[in-house]
Amino acid sequence: GGCSKSEPTSAPQAKSETAVAPQAADTAQQAAADKTPQSGVDYHSFANTDDYRVQHLDLDLTVDFSRKILEGEAQLQVKRLNDKNPPLILDTRGLDIEAVRAGHGDKLEPVKFSMGEKDDHLGTPLKINLPKNATRVAIQYRTSPDASGVQWLEPQQTAGKEHPFLFTQAQAIHARSFVPLQDSPKVRITYNATIRTPKELRAVMSANNDPQAEKDGVYEFEMPQPIPSYLIALAVGDLEFKPMGERTGVYAEPSLLDDAAAEFADTESMLEATEEVYGPYRWDRYDLLILPPSFPFGGMENPRLSFITPTVIAGDKSLVALIAHELAHSWSGNLVTNSSWRDLWLNEGFTTYLTNRIMQNVYGDERYKMEMALGYDDLQATLEDRPDSDEILAVNTRGRDPDEVFSDIPYEKGSLFLYELEQKVGRENFDQFLLDYFNHFSFQSINTEDFVKYLNETLLKQYPDKLDAERIHEWIYEPGIPEGAPHPQSDAFTKLDPVRQQWLDGEIAAKDIDTSNWTFHQWKYFLDGMPEKLSDEQLKELDSAFGLTESTNNEIAFSWLMIAVRNQYQPAYPRLEEFLTSIGRNKFLRPLYRNLVETGQKDLAVRIFEEAKPGYHPLSVKVNSWVIYGEDKG
Ligand SMILES: CC/C=C\C/C=C\C[C@@H](O)/C=C/C=C/C=C\[C@@H](O)CCCC(=O)O
Ligand SMILES: [Zn+2]
């Protein structure tokens, strides 16, 4: 599968034998990428990024499904930031380092290297003694079968059941489990890759994929824009492509392709709507890759190719806000990036705010208000659930596993903060601010203090009568939500409250409620607002009137199963088991397992989890082990 250098449709380029000269990123982009954040340490990386900055990666990996490993070579182009010449320290986790060479260009000589002490959360530092002035390092290595950032799927875990599948998930600190590098979002690199696969499979990456690439077992990729390591991504499987618009298309297993292309047909409109307000799309194409159901998230914003769960293919476009979210990351997160995981809200709060705006633009005001109101309700639930320290936007992640700190606080509280700014200065003025912000920091990694400094120099200075520095500080550095914060509501929801109450009071039968025009949002609101306890009769009446146990909409099924678990409604338990063993998305798994444990049903949780575990992503095994066993059982 030769893949062209820049245009996704040109003929495969002849492959040179020596290491491909690093593609010079656009110098302005690289200069932006090299800007060291003004402050802030990344506690989740061993890399000595004050001495060296990796600028480019040339990767050459062979995919071995029989041994479940990736093996080959990573060549790093390294920029020296001083003349001290200390060892180059890189992040690894579970990598078997075979040999290391260093030097200039393709004149590389073997050099001494050593593995440091292993850390439970961070993995193992790789220390490399560099010859004076060496700027290129070549590391021969292989990954381990249980690499934390790679899932190897057997054919029966895929839609087609014939071929194996693999995909990587690097966010937050899992790139180091499949590439040795400076695994910190403060470092931005361009990359080229050669991926060698079994001939019947196709490889795709967060790079310039070529849908015409011949399935000959060798695929070449280039990512010419500097990106943080958590956005390096690879998938290999029985993948075909279907275009949806001029710059958008979908990769999926053949049996899913048509449904996925129909479900996400509005992606091009979303792309255009976002560009109109927030500036040009910098990444050439915006394609989607549909993963098998074990994918642990709704989506992952890998540049040029968002990885998407099949659980949002609902048949009615009801769950496409997820696509808007991953697309919006092309501005917030991928173009302007958090320089450490403490600052995740810069990625996710901005992206959640942009998602709501895209949904309003493409699907209208009512849907916008429902999405905002559901987000607000999720935030309230999480604020009750998390310790105060985790409610802070610039959250202290030091010494903690980012996967454990992760919640929807940076998403929904961050978005609500930006919504308040919009309400105070006016939407047009706020959009101008965001446009300027994305342009000012494009291809840079910044931290919370960089953002606050920029806000003080712009919006706060322009509207001193409308904005208050102390309140902004409270939003960012204090737990909870400031007094008087906006509370988004939806008429489509508020009119459901009396209907739900009339049913609960026995004044109306479930079958007499007109649900014919309800969107998934209204179903979710109606079900999530049910009291903690319902009688068996009530549960049976809801289920028989609305067919909830058999709902094919995974969000509706999830809300219903949460009710079924806390009421031990046995008729839904076969569906519960099928749901937990066939889907790997933690947004659904964690609350259901927690609900089972907290309602005295731990034995059932253990039995289902142990049965489902071989099919779960390593991340899902880890985070749900915490929920069920209260510790990391691996
Ligand atoms: C404050 C926490 C700091 C860092 C955590 C960063 C990442 C943690 C990792 O576990 C999650 C990464 C990927 C998330 C991908 C998609 C999410 O935006 C959506 C998750 C919910 C869903 O499934 O829709
Ligand atoms: Zn996101």
Q: Which atom of ligand 1 is nearest to the CA of 623?
A: 10
| Burial category of 630 from C-beta neighbours within 10 Å (exposed 0-12, middle 13-18, buried 19 and up) | exposed
In three-state form (DSSP H/G/I as H, E/B as E, the rest C), the secondary structure along 123-154 is: EEEEEECCCCCCCEEEEEEECCCCCCCEEEEC
Predicted confidence at residue 398, as pLDDT, reads 93
What whole-number distance in Å separates Cα of residue 498 and Cα of residue 407?
31
Q: Which ligand is nearest to the CA of 325?
A: 2
Angle at Cα 544 formed by Cα 542 and Cα 545, nearest 5°?
A: 65
What whole-number distance in Å separates Cα of residue 550 and Cα of residue 71?
44
Q: For the segment 500-539, what is each residue's pLDDT rounded down to a tens digit?
A: 999 999 999 999 999 999 999 999 999 999 999 999 999 9
What is the pLDDT averaged over residues 133-154?
97
Q: What's the CA-to-centroid distance between 34 and ligand 2, angstroms?
A: 24
Predicted confidence at residue 480, as pLDDT, reads 98
Q: Is 575 annotated as a binding residue?
A: no
Q: Is 375 annotated as a binding residue?
A: no
Q: Pick from 551, 579, 572, 589: which is nearest to 316 by CA?
A: 551
Ramachandran class of 18: left when φ > 0, alpha when ψ lies in -120 to 50, beta otherwise: beta
What is the pLDDT averaged over residues 268-282?
96
Closest residue CA from atom 1 of ligand 1: 406
What whole-number distance in Å separates Cα of residue 206 and Cα of residue 160?
23
| CA distance from start to end of the chain | 37
Q: What's the CA-to-centroid distance between 518 and ligand 1, angstroms?
A: 29
Closest residue CA from atom 13 of ligand 1: 171
What is the pLDDT averaged over residues 612-616?
95
Q: Is residue 363 among the annotated active site residues? A: no
Is residue 357 scored above 90 in pLDDT?
yes
Dihedral (C-alpha) 283, 176, 299, 579: value to the nearest 10 degrees? 160
Q: Is 384 annotated as a binding residue?
A: no
Q: Is 113 annotated as a binding residue?
A: no
Continuous segment of H or E residues that includes residue 78: strand 69-80
Catalytic residue among 222, 326, 391, 412: 326
Predicted confidence at residue 105, as pLDDT, reads 79
Sign, Cα dihedral of 7, 8, 12, 13: positive
What is the pLDDT averaged over residues 551-556?
96
Is residue 30 scored above 90 in pLDDT?
no
What is the pLDDT averaged over residues 571-581?
98
Closest residue CA from atom 15 of ligand 1: 300
Q: Pick from 526, 538, 605, 606: which is nearest to 565 by CA?
A: 605
What is the pLDDT averaged over residues 91-99?
98
Ramachandran class of 342: left when φ > 0, alpha when ψ lies in -120 to 50, beta otherwise: alpha
Is residue 65 scored above 80 in pLDDT?
yes
Is residue 8 scored above 50 in pLDDT?
no
Q: Is 473 annotated as a binding residue?
A: no
Predicted confidence at residue 41, as pLDDT, reads 82
In our burial notation (b when 16+ CB lie closer than 10 A, e otherwise), range 351-374 reads bbbbbbbbbbbbbeeebbbbbbbb
Ligand 1: residue of 186, 346, 406 to mutate (most ligand atoms within 8 A of CB) is: 406
What whole-number distance in Å separates Cα of residue 205 and Cα of residue 211?
12
Q: Which ligand is nearest to the CA of 347?
A: 2
Q: Which atom of ligand 1 is nearest to the CA of 411?
A: 18
DSSP code string of 562-616: HHHHHTT-GGGHHHHHHHHHH---HHHHHHHHHHHHHTT-HHHHHHHHHHHGGGS
Binned at pLDDT 50, 70 and 90, residue 55 comes out as: very high
Higher-confidence position of 35 and 583: 583
Q: Which atom of ligand 1 is nearest to the CA of 406?
A: 2
Q: Which atom of ligand 1 is nearest to the CA of 171?
A: 12
Is residue 631 scored above 80 in pLDDT?
no
DSSP assigned state of 291: P
DSSP assigned state of 343: G
Ligand 1: residue of 297, 319, 621 to mutate (most ligand atoms within 8 A of CB) is: 297
Mean pLDDT of the chain: 94
Q: What's the CA-to-centroid distance between 607 and ligand 1, angstroms?
A: 27
Predicted confidence at residue 27, as pLDDT, reads 72
Token pair, residue 216, equals 């000959």
Q: Which residues line ligand 1 (CB under 6 A)?
A: 171-172, 297-300, 341, 344, 395, 397, 402-403, 405-406, 410, 585, 587
Give the Å distances, CA to CA, from 167 to 86, 91, 163, 516: 35, 20, 13, 39
Predicted confidence at residue 37, as pLDDT, reads 45
Q: Which ligand is nearest to the CA of 407?
A: 1
Percent of the chain whose pLDDT exceeds 90: 92
Closest residue CA from atom 24 of ligand 1: 298
Amino acid identity for residue 162 in this structure: E
Q: Is residue 541 among the annotated active site residues? A: no
Q: Is 170 annotated as a binding residue?
A: yes
What whole-number distance in Å separates Cα of residue 411 and Cα of residue 318?
20
pTM of the model: 0.94
Q: Is 601 annotated as a binding residue?
A: no
Q: What's the CA-to-centroid distance between 624 and ligand 1, angstroms?
A: 14
Distance of CA 37 to the CA centre of its chain: 23
Q: Which atom of ligand 1 is nearest to the CA of 296?
A: 23
Q: What's the CA-to-centroid distance between 435 and ligand 2, angstroms?
A: 19
Predicted confidence at residue 36, as pLDDT, reads 53
Q: What's the CA-to-centroid distance between 156 and ligand 1, angstroms?
A: 27
Length of the chain: 634
Q: Which atom of ligand 1 is nearest to the CA of 348?
A: 18
Q: Which ligand is nearest to the CA of 170?
A: 1
What is the pLDDT averaged over residues 341-345?
97
Q: Which atom of ligand 1 is nearest to the CA of 390?
A: 1
Ligand 1: residue of 171, 232, 308 to mutate (most ligand atoms within 8 A of CB) is: 171
What whole-number distance in Å separates Cα of residue 508 and Cα of residue 503?
5
Catalytic residue among 219, 286, 376, 411: 411
What whole-number distance in Å separates Cα of residue 524 and Cα of residue 367?
13
What is the pLDDT averaged over residues 579-592?
97
Is residue 154 scored above 90 in pLDDT?
yes
Q: What's the CA-to-centroid distance between 301 and ligand 2, angstroms?
A: 7
Angle at Cα 52 formed by Cα 47 and Cα 58, nearest 5°?
A: 85
What whole-number distance in Å separates Cα of residue 531 and Cα of residue 270?
37
What whole-number distance in Å separates Cα of residue 199 and Cα of residue 186?
37
Q: What's the CA-to-centroid distance between 406 and ligand 1, angstroms?
A: 6
What whole-number distance in Å separates Cα of residue 298 and Cα of residue 445?
24
Q: For the segment 419-431, what is each residue's pLDDT rounded down to a tens digit?
A: 999 999 999 999 9
Q: Is 176 annotated as a binding residue?
A: no
Q: Which ligand is nearest to the CA of 408?
A: 1
Is residue 18 scored above 90 in pLDDT?
no
Token pair, residue 138, equals 């070549």
